[in-house]
Amino acid sequence: MKQVVLYFPGQGAQQLGMLADLAEQYPIIKETFDKASKAIDQDLWSLVQNGPAEELNLTYNTQPILVTASAAIWNVIQQEVGTDIEVTAAAGHSVGEYSALYAAGILSLEDAVRLVKKRGELMDTAVPAGEGGMAAILGLDSEQIKAVCSDASSAGVVEPANFNAPGQIVIAGTAAGIAEACIVAKAAGAKRALPLQVSGPFHSSLMRQAAEPFVEALENVEWSDANFDVYHNANNAVSSVADMKQRLVEQLYSPVNWIGAVEASSKGAELAIEVGPGKVISGLNKRINKQLTTLSSGDNASFEKLLNAIKGEE
C-alpha cells in the first residue's frame, strides 16, 4: 500500500463543463453536488455545466463549486479503492484547504460549502471592485519579490500573496500598487508580470476586514478530529482542531506559501494526488519537488491512471 499525500486546488482550476465525463461513470459525483447544492440553496451542478462563465468565476460561486468538485472526486476515490489507500497528509491551495478538511473528516460537506460561500462573499466585498487586484510575477525569487513590493509601496499597498512555486509568485494589493510593482518587477529582471483577472487583493492585509465576520461563521459549524494531518497555508504546520479556526482566519489575509506546504506535507509520501479539477497543482508540484509524482484526477483518462497507481497496477 503506497503512502499518499492529497493536494486540493484553489481558484483558477474551475472550468465550464468540468467533471461531466466522470459523472457519467460515477453517479456519486452528481450526488455530492446535489448534497452541497441543498446546503446553500443553489444549483451548483447546473452552474458548472451550463454557466454562464461570468457567474461561475465569481468568487462566492467558485469557492463552493471547487470544494464540492474536490469532495466529489475524493468520494469516488474512496468508493473505488477503499482501504487500498493510506493517506499520510493533505494540503489545499487557498480555498482548497477546506476541501482537505472535508477529506480528513474534520468538516462535513454541508459545513464546508456553507463556510466557503460565506468566505467568498466576505472576500468579494472587503475591497470595492476595481480598487484592488493581483498579479503573477515570473522569474524572481521570494527575496526579490519582497524587495519589489517594498519599492512599489509608495504607490499603494502591494504584498506577496501566493508563493506558488520557485520563480512563480503572485502579489496582491491596491490597483495602483499592483501597477507600480509590475513595472518595478520587470526592471528587476522578471520574465513576466501579469495582472490577473480576479475580483480582489486576496491573501493580503487588505482582506483583514473580512476576518472578523468570518470568525462567527467558523464558530457555527461542527468540527471533528482529523483522520490524517492537514497542513495549513498560513504556517505550513498541522494544528489541533482548537487552533484550526485561527489558522483559517489568518489565511484570509496571509500569503499562501504553497512551496512550504508541499515541502512539509510530502515527507515520506510515495505518491501525491491532485484531488480536483484541472492540473494546476500537478504543474506547481513538479517545480517544487521533482522526486514526488503528482497525479491529477479531473477527467476519465487521468482518473483511470490514478486508480491504477493507487492499486499498484501502473
Please write the tens of the pLDDT for every residue from 287-312.
999 999 999 998 888 999 998 888 87
- With beta carbons less than 8 A apart as the criterion, state whether 296 and 133 touch: no
Q: Provide the annotated active-site residues.
A: 94, 203
- With beta carbons less than 8 A apart as the criterion, state whether 156 and 175 touch: yes
Which pTM does this prediction carry? 0.96
Q: Can you state the angle between helices 208-219 and 241-253, rounded to 10 degrees?
A: 150
- With beta carbons less than 8 A apart as the criterion, state whether 67 and 116 touch: yes
Looking at residue 150, its pLDDT comes to 98
Query: Mean of the pLDDT values across residues 8-31?
Result: 96
Q: State the CATH class of domain 3-126+206-311.
A: alpha beta
Residue 129 sits at the vertex; the CA angle it makes with 124 and 131, to the nearest 5 degrees, is: 115
Q: Specify the 3-state DSSP secondary structure of 137.
A: strand
Distance CA 49, CA 65 (A): 11
- Fold identical between 3-126+206-311 and 132-198? no
Q: pLDDT, tens digit, for every residue of 189-233?
A: 999 999 998 889 999 999 999 999 999 999 999 999 999 999 999
Q: pLDDT, tens digit, for every residue of 88-138?
A: 999 999 999 999 999 999 999 999 999 999 999 999 999 988 899 999 999
Q: What is the CA radius of gyration of the chain?
A: 19
For the chain, give every domain's residue range: 3-126+206-311, 132-198
Q: pLDDT, tens digit, for every residue of 130-167?
A: 899 999 999 999 999 999 999 999 999 999 999 999 99
- Per-residue burial over 162-180, b = 16 or more CB atoms within 10 Å of its CB, e = otherwise: bbbbeebbbbbbbbbbbbb
Reply yes or no on domain 132-198 having CATH 3.40.50.10330.
Answer: no
| Parallel/antiparallel/unpaired status of strands 158-165 and 168-174 | antiparallel
Q: pLDDT, tens digit, for every residue of 239-249?
A: 998 899 999 99
- With beta carbons less than 8 A apart as the criterion, state whether 277 and 66 touch: yes
With 0-12 CB in 10 A as exposed, 13-18 as middle and 19+ as buried, what is 217? buried
On average, the pLDDT of the chain sits at 95
Cis-peptide into 52, omega within 30 deg: yes
Q: In what order do the strands lie in the sheet with 158-165?
A: 192-195, 132-138, 168-174, 158-165, 256-257
